Amino acid sequence: MATVTRTVEETLGEGGFTPFHRRIVLLTGFAWTFVAFEIIMIGLVVGPVLGTFGVTAATDPVLVGLVNAATLIGSFIGSLALGRYADTRGRRTVFLLSILWYSAFTAATAVSWDPWSVFGFRLLAGLGLGGMLVVDPAVLSEFLPPQNRGRFMVLLDFFWPLGFLLAIAFWWVFIVQGVTVVGIESWRILFLVAAFPAVIAAVARVTVPESPFYFARHGRLEESAAVLSRITGTRVEPSTLSKEQSIPRAPLRDLFRGSLARRSGVTVSTWIALNFSYYGLFLWLPTILADFGVRELTDIGYVGWFLVASALAQFPGYLVSMILVDRWGRKRTLALFLLLGGVSGYVFATASSFSVLLVGLVFVSFFNLGAWGAVYPYTSELFPTQYRATGFGMAEGVGKTTAILGPVIFGALIAWTSGIILPLTLIAIVMAVGGLVLAGLGPETKGQAFT
């Protein structure tokens, strides 16, 4: 009698959500906290850091801009290179080493001796961030059972505002309050302290196995069964697994051929909209608040609380997104949040009172970050396994290119118009257009087979 075989996806679905999954969610979430922390923190502390070496935005704005963008440049390179490596050689190595790499060069930033060394260390730290940005979502999605995947992929982004709040706290303690040790500049202590928790996270990730999808794609069914046994808590025999379709090489150009072409196009447009709006707005936010002409926002204390309000608004945004991606669909949720984010962004851009500014910022954060929560499960399900990390790498690479350009374009528009309404309005338009493109062209992935 022939043995009935199952796919990895079916085996994960039958096994349900287990203690193994709770641990993986926490491990990837902890790393996600430090991705957010790193990206937000540099925008808050770049002034004092470069001020140590006699550089300010007034004396050398190009250099300040380069240092601000260094982490994003590094993450762009890392996401493309490490996403590709993870598809061909496995997720686990990148999963283990990327956070350790990030931690080492975050600590090394504390010994910077001039602006260009700061730039170099930030770029090198960004390589590790790029690895985490593409591999952590791919790893998490390939361990989760299909019935829980959407919800817990969004839950991963609940850790992002924690990193945002942590960055604000570090900025307040070390930069605003000037806490230091034995007379060392406070920003150097900040980078040393910031590196330590990431080392602990790196050690904890050692026990995470390779993806069962990766093993099955390469015909290594015994190893895939062993990992599935560990995940589900019940023994899975290799003979009960069906061999997944294996493609020895997954060329990047194939993402833009055949049935994948439209999916890749939608991925690119959506990630451009999200990255341009997020980094264009939030890396400039502390600087532009005073330009609204509202008395309260000329005080550093109010600026700090405004940033905190923005971070706190992200939690309910993620929560609503987490519910809707499973009940309503990935595409619908993402498109709606982008559209409403654009509307909220325009309200914020044209606000002239403290209350309207606060409400506008809260809703921009709610919808923009809720969209970020939906884009990860959506992107992970758009591509088959052999293209998944490469697809994430492409998305992150395009996104980070846009993230680098977003703040530069924002600054250029401020210089051109001597005001903030045009750059803020552009951000609102980009979000709304991204939502419209997705609504019109993007496929729905909810309920579709994860291959």
CATH topology of domain 1-246: Growth Hormone; Chain: A; (1.20.1250)
Output the pLDDT for position 450. 47
* Torsion 59-61-66-69 (CA) sign: positive
Percentage of residues in the chain having pLDDT higher than 70: 85
> How confident is the model over 296-320, as pLDDT tens digits?
777 777 778 888 888 888 888 878 8
DSSP state of 171: I
- Residue 347's nearest CA partner among 355, 339, 338, 357 is 357
Listed in order, the ranges of the chain carrying CATH 1.20.1250.20 are 1-246, 250-451
The more confident residue out of 440 and 86 is 440
- Residue 163's nearest CA partner among 208, 123, 201, 110 is 201
Average pLDDT in the 184-207 region? 79
Tally Cβ neighbours within 10 Å of residue 415: 9
Output the pLDDT for position 405. 83
Q: Is the pLDDT of residue 340 over 90?
A: yes
Output the pLDDT for position 367. 92
> Which strand (E) or helix (H) includes residue 213?
helix 212-217
Output the pLDDT for position 129. 82
Average pLDDT in the 355-376 region? 87
> How confident is the model over 207-253, as pLDDT tens digits?
777 777 777 776 677 777 777 777 777 776 666 666 665 544 456 67
* Nearby residues of 148 by Cβ (< 8 Å), 6 or more positions away: 16, 17, 21
Instruction: Write the single-letter amino acid at 33.
Output: T
Its pTM stands at 0.75
Output the pLDDT for position 154. 67
Q: Is the pLDDT of residue 101 over 60?
A: yes
> How confident is the model over 153-163, as pLDDT tens digits?
767 777 888 88
Asked if 42 contacts 71 with a C-beta cutoff of 8 angstroms, the reply is: yes
Percentage of residues in the chain having pLDDT higher than 90: 8
CA 91 distance to own-chain centroid: 17
For the residues of 201-225, what is the DSSP string, one character each?
HHHHGGG----HHHHHHTT-HHHHH
- The structural architecture, per CATH, of the domain 250-451 is Up-down Bundle (1.20)
- Rounded Cα distance, 451 and 446, in Å: 13
Q: Is the pLDDT of residue 115 over 70?
A: yes
The pLDDT-based confidence of 37 (bands split at 50, 70, 90) is: confident
> How confident is the model over 263-289, as pLDDT tens digits?
778 888 899 999 898 888 887 777 777
Q: Is the pLDDT of residue 2 over 50?
A: no
Q: Is 387 exposed, middle or buried (0-12, 13-18, 19+ CB in 10 A)?
A: buried
